[in-house]
Amino acid sequence: MNADIKRERENATFDIEKMTHILDGSPEKTKRRREIESLVFNDPDFDEEDPNFLSRSERYDQAVRKSAQMILKMREFGIADPEEIYHYKSMAKGTLQEALGLHFVMFLPTLNSQCDAQQAEKWLPLAESYQAVGTYAQTELGHGTHLRGLETTSTYDPATQEFVLNSPTVSSIKWWPGGLGKSSNHAIVLAQLHTLGRCHGLHAFIVPIRDMETHQPLPGIVVGDIGPKFGFNEVDNGFLKLENVRVPRENMLMKYAKVEPDGVYVKPPSDKLTYGTMVFVRSMIVGESYRALAKACTIAIRYSAVRHQSELRPGEPEPQIMDYQTQQYKLFPLLASAYAFAFVGQYMTQTYHRISGDISQGDFSQLPELHALSAGLKAFTTWEANFGIEVCRMSCGGHGYSRSSALPDIYVEFTPTCTYEGENTVMMLQTARYLVKSFRQARAGQRLSGIVSYLNEPQDRRLQPQAAGARPALVDVNDLSSLVAVYRLRAAALVEMAAKNIQQELQRRASQEEAWNNSAIDLVRASDAHCHYVVVKIFTEKLAEVRDPAVHSVLSTLALLYALNGITRNSGDFLLAGLLSVPQVLQISVRIKELLSQLRLNAVSLVDAFDIHDKKLNSVLGRYDGNVYEHMFQWARRSPLNATEVHDSFHKYLKPLRSKL
């Protein structure tokens, strides 16, 4: 092991293993996760070429092979619990994606939840035995987040008792679904349902797209891969153009809405039923923000302990780059964010399970809050992690730009989370809608509960801009609960400001919609402040659960850094609302520097606690043993361009060039 990184570990002030248990949830969970992971990293069938050395087609081929392999192995090992499946797969996939991902994440669950009994009997066995490999075709060339705008049509023909599906325009071509291009032989197609001359909006249809034996596209189906992307190149995201494709009436998913044989449409009992999945997926993405940022921090911080550069003190050896204050300032706040998001992810999962318990008993009362929370936190954490991964990459200098660092892969595979499952700005505005609505309810005298209860506070506690005064003195910048309060007041101030802005716009203009759009910048800011408050609050509350004093101490330092750094980055907000005074903001800057040097000692151990196996990380810079340069050299020698000493292009172009001059 590299001597520097060894010394870093020896200097840790806390028990790394105990921290890992907290991040996993319990010692048992850590143990079980490692058992599952070891099934992959001890399995020679998962030894494979670095996908960075493969062509697109080889990369896809490797991913399909791995998908098939995972299915067989998990059956062999009896891995069936969703959490265990997650660990097994994420070890096998590393930073990359699964070719058949949508079959598991969308096709099977949709069949499960939206088939009636007869349909379930037919389709589930086909899907579970991979006779039917499926995907979920919703997004079109012209429409993403705005579902009502989707153009694909499914028109019922009572004469034959079939639906006729069509892509009436270029912009209606289905676009993006994972596994649609080459892998799937079925798709659940979302289309506008027309029957007896009326349109009943979006419904789901099972559409066979390829022959189950030959895998050739069926008549009327134009299907293929949408071409290379920033990342996800191991996945065949696809297009699907439907030309008078007929499917039997029974292929409409009919657990809720129905079309009778004669074409009569029967409405679903409630439209809140599909709401739950969306909320669940967004909650999961918060956890992904943690995991992606944790990977990036692991790589950048370990490398910063190994890399020596320049000089701090004349005549002394070159320092580790982690000794530079600017490097600490880039990385340690992100490390704090990774920890924060880990706990927010845990909170979201717990909340989801609690509330879905209520929902299954018919109590939808908490769904709007959960919906607003999951939308906002999905946007907040993915934006922050997205930005942070790139900071980590650039903090590794040139070597971060090499694919061998894994940082480019982590970024390109993570960045779509800002767009999919609800575009982030749209998500922030959805949360804002809930906040403004709650604010108005509170103003109308209604008593709010839950996470927005701070909007209840009497007017004199919600500070007006400029109406500061005595308050700032009350804030203790070293006390987390005091900081939670100040974040809460900032959120309240910004929600109020956005709501007032809408009011002013309404007084000037005609429509609600214009007033909303003309306040959108303020609304996004308000949502952002709300989410920021929630994250600081959850992180602070988590500390109360931690018994071990050494672990508690270092986690408190991280939480304090998270909270104070958020204040300096948004100091204008806190000053504008009169929540902090100028000397307090200056004091916070000083305090942040102290926290950075306190964390310096534990930085490597704090990323070790994420416990990301080298095989999963797949980064020469982030290796546990710190032996960076040797492995970078070994990796490079395997580059396909080095397969021959002299590349053909020399004979084709460079040598002939001389004679032409």
Contact predicate 438/536, CB 8 Å: no
Of 348 and 524, which CB lies nearer to a copy of itself in the complex structure?
524
β pairing state of 258-259 and 265-266: antiparallel
**Residue the block writes with tokens 């992307």:** 229
Asked if 421 is an active-site residue, the reply is yes
Of 297 and 427, which CB lies nearer to a copy of itself in the complex structure?
427
Of 47 and 645, which CB lies nearer to a copy of itself in the complex structure?
645
What phi and psi values does residue 239 have, to the nearest 5 degrees?
Answer: -115, 155
Full 3-state SS string of 583-626: HHHHHHHHHHHHHHHHHHCCHHHHHHCCCCCHHHHCCCCCCCCC
Of 99 and 442, which CB lies nearer to a copy of itself in the complex structure?
99
Q: How far is the CB of 239 from a copy of itself (least distance, A)?
A: 6
End-to-end CA distance of the chain: 54
The secondary structure element, H or E, covering residue 559 is: helix 549-569
Of 363 and 514, which CB lies nearer to a copy of itself in the complex structure?
514
Of 46 and 256, which CB lies nearer to a copy of itself in the complex structure?
46
Tokens encoding 27: 């010692």
What phi and psi values does residue 252 have, to the nearest 5 degrees?
Answer: -80, 135
Candidates 98, 151, 288, 421; catalytic one: 421
Of 226 and 601, which CB lies nearer to a copy of itself in the complex structure?
226
Tokens encoding 210: 């390829």
Q: How far is the CB of 77 from a copy of itself (least distance, A)?
A: 15
Of 275 and 387, which CB lies nearer to a copy of itself in the complex structure?
387
Of 22 and 296, which CB lies nearer to a copy of itself in the complex structure?
296
Full 3-state SS string of 46-101: HCCCCHHHCCHHHHHHHHHHHHHHHHHHHHHHCCCCHHHHHHHHHHHHCCCCCCCH
What is the distance between the alpha carbons of residues 131 and 125, in angstroms, rounded to a whole number? Answer: 8
Of 154 and 404, which CB lies nearer to a copy of itself in the complex structure?
404
Tokens encoding 598: 């306190």
E runs forming strands in 84-215 = 134-137, 153-157, 162-166, 174-175, 186-195, 198-208
Of 127 and 253, which CB lies nearer to a copy of itself in the complex structure?
127
Q: How far is the CB of 464 from a copy of itself (least distance, A)?
A: 10
Of 105, 97, 22, 561, residue with least CA distance to 336? 561
Of 75, 91, 72, 100, residue with least CA distance to 32? 91
SS3 169: coil
What is the distance between the alpha carbons of residues 458 and 588, in angstroms, rounded to a whole number? Answer: 28
Of 361 and 649, which CB lies nearer to a copy of itself in the complex structure?
649
Tokens encoding 341: 């998001």
Q: How far is the CB of 206 from a copy of itself (least distance, A)?
A: 19
**Burial of residue 324 (number of CB atoms within 10 Å: 0-12, 13-18, 19+):** middle
Tokens encoding 533: 């408050």
Q: How far is the CB of 440 from a copy of itself (least distance, A)?
A: 20
213-236 exposure pattern, b = at least 16 Cβ within 10 A, e = fewer: eeeeeeebbebebbeeeebbbbbb
138-176 exposure pattern, b = at least 16 Cβ within 10 A, e = fewer: bbbbebbeeeeebbbbbbbeeeeebbbbbbeeeebbbbb
Tokens encoding 618: 């797949």
**Burial of residue 197 (number of CB atoms within 10 Å: 0-12, 13-18, 19+):** exposed
What long-range pairs does 468-473 form, CB within 8 A, spacing at least 24? 468/577, 468/578, 468/579, 468/581, 469/578, 471/578, 471/579, 472/578, 472/579, 472/580, 472/581, 472/584, 473/581
Contact predicate 383/535, CB 8 Å: no
What is the distance between the alpha carbons of residues 288 and 417, in angstroms, rounded to a whole number? Answer: 9
Q: How far is the CB of 322 from a copy of itself (least distance, A)?
A: 12
What phi and psi values does residue 210 have, to the nearest 5 degrees?
Answer: -130, 150
What is the distance between the alpha carbons of residues 172 and 153, in angstroms, rounded to a whole number? Answer: 9
Residues that are catalytic = 421
